[in-house]
Amino acid sequence: MNYMDQYKFWLEDDYFDDNTKAELLAIKDDEKEIEERFYKELEFGTGGLRGIIGAGTNRMNLYTVRKATQGLANYILAQGTQDKGIAIAYDSRFMSPEFADEAALCMAANGIKAYVFESLRPTPELSFAVRYFKCTAGIVITASHNPPEYNGYKVYWEDGAQVTSPKDVEIINCVKAVTDYHTVKTMSLEDAKAAGLYITIGAEVDDAFIAALKTQIIHPEIIEEMGESLRIVYTPFNGTGNIPARRILKEIGFKNVYVVPEQEMPDPKFTTLAYPNPEDPKAFELALKLAKEKQADIVLATDPDADRLGIYAYDTKSGEYVPFTGNMSGMLVAEYLLSQRSAMNTMPANPALVKTIVTTNLADEIAAAYGVKLIEVLTGFKYIGEQIKWFEETGSNNYVFGLEESYGCLVGTHARDKDAIVAVMSLCEVAAWCKKQNKTVWDMMLEMYEKYGYYKEDLYTITMKGKEGSEQIAAIMEKLRANPPKEFGAWSVKEMRDYKSGKTVNPETGEEGETGLPTSNVLYFDLSDNAWCCARPSGTEPKIKFYMGVKGNSLEDAVTKVKELTDALKSKL
């Protein structure tokens, strides 16, 4: 059926409820809007679903969620692991509780027990719960840091990580195979509970999750000593981090934690935030105001599903708060963990640090300094989680830290996804350690630059919405593939890696090789003078992202160089 046929089907078929039909009738004279809602199915990709909430095949609604869940249930049944059950969590967004229940009741109707959190919980706690209950899979309803009109649906497998190859493609095929809404199963909440197929979970998992985080503390004596004097401002961005982040900080001994009142409680409108993303400096406006009032040492913000963490730290010289990128905050934690474990002789045998291909090369320097193996994976924290699973299966290495540039990291292996709650705990420990030495977190960052080099990264993003936007993004990638640049301004291309074809090529010699990583629509350019840039369409938003990194002789030099590289890249588009 074409988009207009689909529109009429949703309007006329008895399967769809009156509220859905009323919403669709309201756009009957807007053919462009009808096309946007029905020109395709909301794509179930390797990370699940994400889209604008509303009626239509290309929207997040009860029907698309139920249909995707039926496909996942069919896959679980085919694997024969249905008796292990599935864990389900959700965030503070519009329709999140409803979507979580729809998924649970579809699973229940297929004979698969659903462990559903009693109220909103962070994404990393869902990852933890999958392994805690020994489930076959997990679902979290969240659109992470997207604007308020979005919601999403992420799928995890029994190891607690988001699904990777080949299961991701197999699940996608099972979801695509569900073409008739009338074949999708569901049942009432009362019947599901009576049958023991809908189990509410809460405090027991919370306690176990918090206990697991505490095992990652390196210097409890320093936290105890400095807990009275360190001043922390925190905002959960009206999401899931409020209770667990405050709980862990309180229980380990931090006395002065000030929460931004306007952003404390769940709010699906994100009223004080244009964009609930810790990558956005504007989102810190209220937190920084509170920090100045309280003379805070450190300012922390978690995104709505609490898997990403952004920070600002006080600079005594300027009297201002300095923003940290995800690369910078991740490297602070890495340096602290590796230096202290080395000093205390608690580093495990065959230690490994895992990062994504678009994460700072400062990670390589730090890993080398402490004799830790550096492993690089594709963008997406699921690939870091996958490495942990392989380490456990093969005994080849022991995981010590993992991070990606987009403000996500994981200390410990209690979860298999990025965890902003454990990152809050770890960064506050770093801040306490710094304060004991009469320095700030920013001072520590400057010391790291002096020790390893002034690495600086940036991100240039182009947003292109809708069907036309998708086509434009594809055209940009095709242009770069068809005519790959041999230089970007002052930097020559030493090697181009096309992760879609799996090939690498040296433009000077023509020598070809293999990327050694799974297929992904990513182009990476390794440049002269320790620089690099990378092009990648977002898997969760209507954007194409361009990453770049340089190494400077000073902070100012690095800032200048990364701007020049960004400008050179823009000229190629």
Q: Write the pLDDT tens digit of every residue in 420-466.
A: 999 999 999 999 999 999 999 999 999 999 999 999 999 999 998 88
Shared domain check, 271 and 412: yes
| Residues 471 and 380 both lie in one domain | no
- Say how many domains are in the chain: 3
Nearest 5 degrees, angle CA 179-CA 182-CA 184? Answer: 75
Residue 325 shares a structural domain with residue 232: yes
Domain boundary residue, one of 156, 181, 201: 201
Residue among 236, 252, 209, 286 at smallest CA distance from 428: 252
Say yes or no: 175 and 227 in one domain: no
Give 470's pLDDT tier (boundaries 50, 70, 90).
Answer: confident
- The pLDDT of residue 194 is 98
pLDDT over 90 percentage in the chain: 95
Amino acid of residue 368: A
Do 382 and 484 share a domain, yes or no? no
Q: What is the DSSP string of 21-40?
A: HHHHHTTTT-HHHHHHHHSS
3-state secondary structure 128-150: HHHHHCCCCEEEEECCCCCCCCE
Per-residue HEC secondary structure of 164-204 comes to CCCHHHHHHHHHHCCCCHHHCCCCCHHHHHHCCCEEEECHH
Are residues 160 and 279 both part of a single domain?
Answer: no
Q: What's the alpha-carbon Rg for the chain, to the nearest Å?
A: 24
Give the Cα separation of 175 and 186 in Å (integer).
16
551 is a domain residue? yes
Q: Around 437, how many Cα atoms within 13 Å sit in the side-chain half-sphere? A: 11
- Residue 209 to residues 152, 193, 213, 430, Cα–Cα distance (Å): 24, 25, 6, 21
Is the domain of 129 the same as that of 238?
no
AA letter at 532: W
Could you tell me if 176 and 88 are in contact, meaning their C-beta atoms sit under 8 angstroms apart?
no
Please say which residue of 153, 169, 201 terminates a domain.
Answer: 201
User: Does some domain include residue 69?
Assistant: yes
**Cα–Cα distance measured from residue 547 to residue 134, given in angstroms and rounded to the nearest whole number:** 38
**What's 531's domain CATH number?**
3.30.310.50
Per residue in 232-278, pLDDT tens? 999 999 999 999 999 999 999 999 999 999 999 999 999 999 889 99
The structure tokens listed for 305 are 């599903």
Catalytic residues: 144
Instruction: Compute the average pLDDT of residues 223-234.
Output: 98
Strand extents, DSSP E, 28-80: 49-52
Residues 466 and 423 in one domain: no
* CATH at residue 51: 3.40.120.10
pLDDT digits 0-9 by tens, 343-363: 999 999 999 999 999 999 999
Q: What is the pLDDT of residue 55?
A: 98
pLDDT for the residue 228: 97
* CB within 8 Å of 547: residues ≥ 6 apart: 358, 405, 457, 458, 459, 533, 534, 536
> Is residue 295 located within the same domain as residue 425?
yes
Question: Same domain for 143 and 282?
Answer: no
pTM: 0.95
Q: Which of 173, 201, 229 is the last residue of a domain?
A: 201
| Beta pairing class for 198-201 and 114-117 | parallel
Q: Is 33 among the domain residues?
A: no
User: Is beta strand 298-302 parallel, antiparallel or unpaired with respect to 309-315?
Assistant: antiparallel
Tell me the pairing of strands 114-117 and 512-514: unpaired
In terms of domains, do 329 and 380 share one?
A: yes
The backbone region for 375, taken as left when phi is positive above 0, alpha when psi lies in -120 to 50, beta otherwise, is beta
Is residue 12 domain-resident? no
Is 2 within the bounds of a domain? no
CB atoms within 10 A of CB 74: 18
513 and 502 Cβ atoms separated by less than 8 Å? no
- Tokens, residue 62: 């009860």
CA distances from 77 to 71, 73, 137, 171, 546 (A): 10, 6, 12, 12, 40
pLDDT at residue 45, as a whole number: 83
Give the largest Cα separation in the chain, rounded: 70
Q: Is 503 part of any domain?
A: yes
Secondary-structure percent of the chain, ordered helix, strand, coil, rounded to 5: 40, 25, 35
Tell me: pLDDT of 540 over 80.
no
| Structural domain contains residue 32 | no
Rounded to whole angstroms, the Cα distance separating 231 from 312 reads 13
The structure tokens listed for 39 are: 């020109």
Residues 326 and 402 reside in one and the same domain: yes
CA distance 241 to 264: 9
Could you tell me if residue 7 is inside a domain? Answer: no
Residue range of the domain that includes 409: 213-448
| Structure confidence at residue 542 as a pLDDT band (50, 70, 90) | confident
